[in-house]
Structures are given as C-alpha cells and as structure tokens.
Amino acid sequence: MSIRKKRLAILTGGGPAPGFNAVIYGAAKAALDAGWEVLGIRDGWKGVLDGRTMELDYTAIEGIQIRGGTILGTSRTNLAKVKVGKQTVDKIAEGAGLIREMGLDALIANGGEDTISVAERLWQEHQIPVICTPKTIDGDVCGTERTYGLDTAANWVGRAIAGLHEDFASTHYVAVVEVMGRKAGWLPLYGGIAGGAHMILVPEFPRTIEDICQNVARIYKQFGYCIIAVAEELNMDDLAGHISESGGADNFGHAQIALREKGWAKVIADEIVERIKLGARPVVLGHAQRGGPPSAFDVAMCLQLGQTAFTSALHGVFGKLISWQGEKPVPVDLALAGGGKTRQVPRELYEALIATLP
C-alpha cells in the first residue's frame, strides 16, 4: 500500500514584484527535498476559482529565483468580492471548498495586504492551512520590517531619476517624477534619495502647493533646474479635485492609478507652470518600476522566506505571515498584516532623509 505524498500549493497575488519567483523556488525546493508534491495555482485567487494549477517539480523551478515576475501568473481577484454580472459576490466559502478539493496539506499565498486579507479570512473562518509572505514594491505590509520587491524597485527608481539630471539641467526644466506606492511613501522616498531628487513628496506628510512652489523656485534659482519625486497618491486637499480618474476601483477598492487621465505628476507640473512660470514636465515611471530581475538582497531574503514558510507548514503551524525582522524570517500572526492596514513611513525616518535634500 502506497503512502500518499503530502501536497503543498503555492500562489502569487496582486501586482507583480521582483522576488515572487525566489519565494516560489525557496518554498518549492524545500518541499520537494522533503518528499512533498508541489502545485502552483495559476493567477492568484482567480486560479482557485478556475481550478487552474501546474506541477512544480525540480525542472519547473530551475533557475526561476533570479527572474522577475512570477511563473504562476497573478491577478487582483478578491474572493470576498467576485464580480458576477453586475453584482459582487462573497466567494470565500466557495474558495475554501475548492481548496479542500485540491487535497492540500498546506497553501502558501504570497502577496500584499489584499492577498493576505483573503488568506486571513480563509484561515479564521474555514481553517484553511495557509501561510503568507509579504510582497510589495510599496513596502506597506504591516507586521514586517521589509517587503520583497521594494529594494529592487527603489534601486530601479533611483537609477531612473539619476538619469534625468543631465537632461533637465541642460534644458532648465522642472521634472515631476511620479513613483508607485499608493498610500505609503517608501518607494518614492528611497528611490528619490537614491536618485538625487531635490524634493520628495509622500502621502504620509502633506505639503501645500504654495510651499512646494516656493521650494521649487528656491532650488531652481540655485541649480537652474529641479527634480521632484512624487508618490502616485498624495494627501493634498487643495489639489485633490484636479485628479482625473477614468478606470474606477479594482476588486479591493483601490483606484486604478495606471488608468488615470490626469495623475499627481501632471497636476503638480501644471501648478508649477501656472504659479511660478517655470517649464515643468511630468514623468510617469509606470509599470517598469516593478519589472526586471530581483536585487541580490531580494533574492536572498525571498529564498529564506520561502524556506521558512514551508518549514512552518511542515510543523503544522498555519495562519502565519513569514515576516522579515532583524534580518531574518519570523512567523507572526496573519491578523497583524491583513484587514486593509497600511505600514507607513515613520516621521523620524522621513525627516532624517529629507534633511539631506537641498
């Protein structure tokens, strides 16, 4: 009589982030080495509903740890709000049933706070044996000191901004560079500092347009040009009505920023032109920020996160986020990370870095 192999499934949800594949590799290799069967669920929570999986054997994962994107695909499907016709339906219970039908002994769900929120409900309400890892270039997952993808993206943003200096110094324009990050300023702050931006605007610490223009005028007088790193979401009551939305909200209630007709870079550039009569150009970095191979740090971190996620499953410990604390993976309760909470830039860090700007 043959003994059934234990079965692990892995999925990736939300926006792509460098490091996804390294987490898949770390978890899958550890599981295969332990004699487990490993499945990949395609396209995040959508793949649970569609029943789309792939086998993750040694051949399937060979070399993926140094690649960007995710070999499993991803989506922004929210099991709690699945569109059925013109309505949204809560399919958490249905998703739990479909996961049980897969005969899983463990599920590793990799993603940001949206993916984690779904996993938390599956664990709390249906005891699905799930473990999560904290992905996002935004850096905004709670319960962890780092999220994977942020280091890679911040280095990419830094190089992009650094590449603008000679152009804008030569043409004497103001560059307003829009950086991803939604409601947290980790990426524009780190990327802006790495790229030598003259000003950095983040949602945590609002500034008025009058203050911004005064500083632009001062910097322009000193250098003959100015580069501003701007978060894709800002809290500026005096300009909020100037944003032009066009895509509606996604399944998690977030504005689809990539579909905006007029975002914050364009709004602020227009105000600079109007108020202080300087030439200003919006530069939207877009989806390239989260592309390309992961940095050495993200690869090393993600391999350990994946390994630890499987070790947690091996010991029957579920309902955990494998966070990164003190430069090592540490399991914490999923409730610390889900539920729509956002980890924001602390004032002391922001002020220390902003003090280094002109």
Q: At what angle do helices 150-162 and 186-195 cross, to 10 degrees?
A: 40
Q: Using the predicted structure, report yes or no on whether residue 199 has a pLDDT greater than 60.
A: yes
In whole angstroms, give the CA distance from residue 178 to residue 176. Answer: 6
Percentage of the chain with pLDDT > 90?
87
Q: Residue 245: what pLDDT?
A: 61
Q: Residue 193 is which amino acid?
A: I
Confidence of residue 85 (pLDDT cuts 50, 70, 90): confident
Provide the β-strand partners of residue 134: 111
Per-position DSSP letters for 144-188, written without gaps between them: -S--BTHHHHHHHHHHHHHTTHHHHHHHT-EEEEEE--TT--HHH
Instruction: Note the pTM of the prediction, 2 decimals.
Output: 0.93
**Mean pLDDT over residues 283-304, rounded?**
96
> Can you give the pLDDT at residue 244?
60
Q: What CATH fold (topology level) applies to the domain 7-148+294-336?
A: Rossmann fold (3.40.50)
Q: How far apart are CA 106 and CA 93, in angstroms?
A: 17
CA atoms within 13 A on the CB side of 211: 9
Q: How many CA atoms lie within 13 A of 57 on its CB side?
A: 2
* 260 pLDDT higher than 70: no
- At 311, the pLDDT band (50, 70, 90 cuts) reads very high
Selected catalytic residue, list 43, 138, 151, 298: 138
pLDDT digits (tens, 9 = 90+) for 90-119: 999 999 999 999 999 999 999 999 999 999
Span of 14-28, 30-44, 98-112, 335-349 with lowest mean pLDDT:
335-349
**Token pair for 183:** 């409601």
Say whether 154-290 and 7-148+294-336 share the same fold: yes
Cα 52 from Cα 125, distance rounded (Å): 24
**What's residue 341's pLDDT?**
86
Averaged pLDDT for residues 16-21: 97
Query: 240: pLDDT confidence band, cut at 50, 70 and 90?
Result: confident
Task: Please state, in angstroms and as integers, the Cα–Cα distance from residue 69 to each residue in 72, 97, 289, 293, following that order.
Answer: 9, 29, 12, 8
Assigned CATH class of 154-290:
alpha beta
Would you state the pLDDT for residue 255? 56
Separation CA 184–CA 181 (nearest Å): 6
The full set of domain ranges for the chain reads 7-148+294-336, 154-290
The backbone torsions φ and ψ at residue 37, rounded to the nearest 5 degrees and listed phi first, read -90, 140
Please say if 138 is a catalytic residue. Answer: yes
CA 113 – CA 312 distance, rounded (Å) = 20
Mean pLDDT along residues 227-244: 86
pLDDT of 262:
79
User: How far, in Å, CA of 33 to CA of 116, rounded?
Assistant: 27
Query: Residue 305: its pLDDT value, please?
Result: 98
What is the per-residue pLDDT for 65? Answer: 98
Give the pLDDT score at 182.
Answer: 81
What is the tens place of the pLDDT at every residue in 62-78? 999 999 999 999 999 99
**β-pair partners for 331:** 322
137 touches 180 (CB < 8 A): yes
